[in-house]
Chain A
Amino acid sequence: MRLQIILAGIGGQGILFSSKVFSELGLKMGLDIMGSETHGMSQRGGSVIAHLKLGKFQSPLIRNGAADILYSFEENETYNTLKFLKGGGICFVNLESVDQFNKRIMKVLKEKEIALRAFDATGAASKIGSIRSANIVLIGYSVGTGLVAIKYEDLKYVLELVSREKDLKINLKALELGFQEGKRTSKNPGKSL
């Protein structure tokens, strides 16, 4: 199995932590991991992008049109990173509603059979008093929709493994919240493409 994931956002949104979650998940599945991360100056509020490739790969970078999944934690960064998605891929974006998304770009995505799922992860995370956990909320949401067949229990196990002690409780809460929201919307996927 080979799977390519792009995680995009801006410095401070927990992109590198999310990348760690997926790579440990891959390792748990016995897969080879290869990927690439942004460190340094860009982390001061600039664009941050992580490439993650599970399975047999040599290059750490994902080519345009090759990614299976894009997690975008910020709207504009979504537009900048959509090019990575392959036809038939899925994009999960931290956005209140797909209605806010550019209509012409949505049309192109539809042609390429790329699914776009918007969820206000920041809003949800603020409800549990931790905006910084929006990344985990969005990942939990994606699992809840059933479009990405990760087991909730596996994700929970990995979070327990990689979270700092003081963040663990809130991370698990964020995961649960996102997961339930994802499950709820999948029963009524009216807003999806």
Chain B
Amino acid sequence: MGPGPIFFGPDKRTKMKKTGQEEIRVLLGNVAIARGIVEAGCHVVTSYPGTPSSEIVPAVVEFKKELGLNTYIEWSANEKVAYDNALAASLTGKRAAVAMKQVGLNVASDSLMSSAYTGVIGGLVIISCDDPGPHSSQTEQDSRFFAMFAKVPAFDPSTPQEAKEMIKEAFELSEMFQIPVVLRPTIRVSHAKQSVKLAPLKVLDREANFEKNPERWAATPKYRLVLHKKLNETLQKISERFEKDTKWNYEVGKSISASLGIITCSVSFANLMDILDELNLKSEINVLKIGTPYPLPQKRIADFIDRHKKVLIIEETDSVIESQIIDKSKVLGRLTGHIPLAGELSPDGIHNILAEVLRELGIANLEKITDSKLDKLIEKLNLQVRKPTLCAGCPERAAFFAIKKALPKAIYASDIGCYTLGLNLKAVDTVLDMGAGITLASGFYQAYHQDKKDIPIVATMGDSTFYHSGTASLLNAVYNNARFILVILDNEITAMTGMQPTPGLGITADGSKGKIIPLKELIKGCGVKWIKTIDPYEVKNLVKLLKEAKEYSQRKDGGIAAIIARHPCIIRFPEVCEENPVKVEITDDCNGCNYCLDFFECPALYPDEERNIVEIDRNFCVDCGVCIDACPKGAIIPMEKKNKAPL
């Protein structure tokens, strides 16, 4: 039984793919954004990696190589650094783009706010990728609010193709009005994948030419007021332009019988259009799509509201459009409780919002989507939620295991990166934002020390995070006499976001050689006197070293003790593990106590419940041999020790 074959063969349209010069490629949203940057003739691209923005820079590098461009591309130390470097290029008349994740814009916000006043010369586009959900972030913040806060225009794409086109428009607008412009893709645009039409590149031969104008570029508060007034005038002009725009702001459906209007944007627009199509509701509902949420085309919105009995606003992640609407008497949205205040708006979520509103207005009786029989059965299976975990062989697991072993009662202040997953080993107590591993550790120290209590505190931070924002935190801690143990988890790469190089590696964004900034010298420069480097695979030695570090941090003439736990990421540098494989086996001494599963948590170890022992999954095991130190019974041993039989 079952269905017949699903048609999936080539059809006649294959030949129609390429007509004339038009080329179509399947691109990830972020790659389409990179293509838009390149098509706009952009000269300088800077970024700090972070999901969902990380793929933009590597894609620009690829296009640069493919097309033989002279683009300057850098992975910057952090987002503010990236912003300022891009801004400077713009001040010389060149086009510049700076990409980051939404919380990265918090870091760059000082520069954004100020440069909104001073303005730009060459086009400057800020790409801030939002993460409704959140899937891979500490907040769900809406970057469009940041654009509004800084008083700069924002574009809000609904598909990769549109994101590519909007980038080009953003550059034009930025140059026309000498203002930074924000592009705000959400994760469903950045990580969507679409067949995208490519366009020829714009060639802009521009030589760097910074024209001095201290009243503008070094404006004192007196001139800042003048600049602010000028900014307001500029925004007014942009607003008039957006009122007339029909490319990014347009209506779908002009049914005069429709009593409900929906104003929507970003991927919510795409989701809604497919739903309306599917449910055949196009004659009951008209849609106004907004691609420029700030400054909002107020007249267009007012006119649309005027023509409908009620208007529903569907937007992610927050109420940027809705809160700007002047007359809200006919408006339904978050502020009226019709849209959830948190989380992503899934297609099913939008379906149910629609069902509720259509029922309330007596327009249609649309069935809500509820758990089916299948959902209920699957719920009963109590499937284990597969949480992300450190990879088998990850050096960070070894370091966390040693930290827990040496200092079981410490406060563990950690940070953002793969090593956030030290949570699973119960070796992470706090994760706030980039750099807070050190600042929270010093803050904890001061709070306890004030009460004359000195408890062990361990700050853990990855190498890339330390380069991002560790130095100011660390020198502040040293300066103010804080004491704790700092463990830098140095895997020589930015692993979580996709293996971007760090200043410690000495390789730049496009693979060319950069200067190496050694971690040890940097830590020393922050005033730390006690610094040791160790391979965390040597668990026993690391435990010993951590105890010494604790002693130093509590000694009268002691201070902050720093340990650089250095071992290359086994995913990025697998050859390191392959060099010295330690094949292990589990002996009969294993009594199934599960200590290794609970406190070492390697994905290559699993319980054999029938035999009440732990087994090794060879599909996952990378022969790092670290688990030998994780078994309290000594039941995990190197294979050759037992089997010395000749082969």
Confirm or deny: B195 has a beta carbon within 8 angstroms of a beta carbon on chain A. yes
Q: Which of B186-210 contact A (CB under 8 A)?
A: 188-189, 191-195
* Distance to closest chain A CB from B385 (angstroms): 8
Interface size class of A (residues with CB under 8 A): 35 or more
| Pair A60/B270 contact, Cβ less than 8 Å | yes
- Residues of chain B contacted by A80 (CB below 8 angstroms): 378, 383
B527 at the interface (CB under 8 A from A): no
Contact of A40 among B9, B26, B136, B188 (CB under 8 A): B136
Q: Given contacts A37-B193, A40-B136, A104-B377, is CB(A113)–CB(B347) below 8 Å?
A: no
- Is B332 an interface position by the 8 A CB rule? no
Tally chain B residues at the interface, Cβ within 8 Å.
Answer: 70
Q: Report A-chain residues with C-beta under 8 Å of the C-beta of B193.
A: 19, 23, 33-37, 52, 60
A112 to B375, CA, bound (A): 14
* Set A1, A68, A83: member contacting B11, Cβ < 8 A: A1
Partner of A151, one of B9, B351, B384, B619: B9
In the complex the two chains form, what is the Cα distance from A102 to B159 in whole Å?
38
Closest to A62 in B: B347
Interface centre among B273, B373, B378, B391 (most CB of A within 10 A): B378
Which residues does chain A contribute within 8 Å of B389, judged by CB atoms? 44-46
Stretch of B12-20, B290-298, B305-313, B639-647 lying at the A interface? B12-20
CA distance A82 to B12 in the complex (A): 32
Q: Is A99 an interface residue (CB 8 A)?
A: no
Q: Which of A74-107 contact B (CB under 8 A)?
A: 76-77, 79-80, 82-83, 88-90, 102, 104-105
Q: How long is the Cα–Cα vector from A148 to B3 in the complex, in angstroms?
A: 10
In the complex formed, the residue of B with least CB distance to A81 is B378
Cross-chain contact of A115 among B1, B9, B13, B28 (Cβ < 8 A):
B1
Chain A residues within 8 Å of B420, by CB: 41
In the complex, per-residue mask of A64-79: 1 if CB is within 8 Å of any chain B CB, else 0: 1100110000001101
Are the CB atoms of A40 and B6 closer together than 8 Å? no
User: Which of B2, B273, B346 is close to A61, meaning CB atoms less than 8 Å apart?
Assistant: B346
- Which DSSP category, helix, strand, loop or mixed, fits chain A's interface? mixed
Tell me the smallest distance from the CB of B606 to a CB of chain A, in Å: 13
**Alpha-carbon separation in the docked complex, A44 to B9 (Å):** 35
Say yes or no: B192 contacts A150, CB within 8 Å.
no
Contact at B388–A149, with CB atoms within 8 Å?
no
- The yes or no answer to B348 lying at the interface (CB within 8 A) is yes
The complex places the Cα of A138 from the Cα of B378 at a distance, in Å, of 24
Residues of A within 8 A of B13 (CB): 29-31
Give Cα A57–Cα B194 distance, bound, in whole angstroms. 10
Write 22 A-B pairs (CB below 8 A) sorted by A numbering.
A3-B8, A11-B388, A29-B10, A31-B195, A33-B193, A38-B135, A39-B51, A41-B496, A42-B135, A45-B388, A47-B386, A52-B193, A58-B270, A60-B192, A63-B351, A79-B381, A110-B1, A114-B2, A115-B2, A154-B10, A193-B1, A193-B2
Q: Which 8 A-B pairs have the closest CB atoms?
A: A30-B13, A115-B2, A40-B51, A60-B192, A40-B136, A46-B388, A58-B270, A33-B195
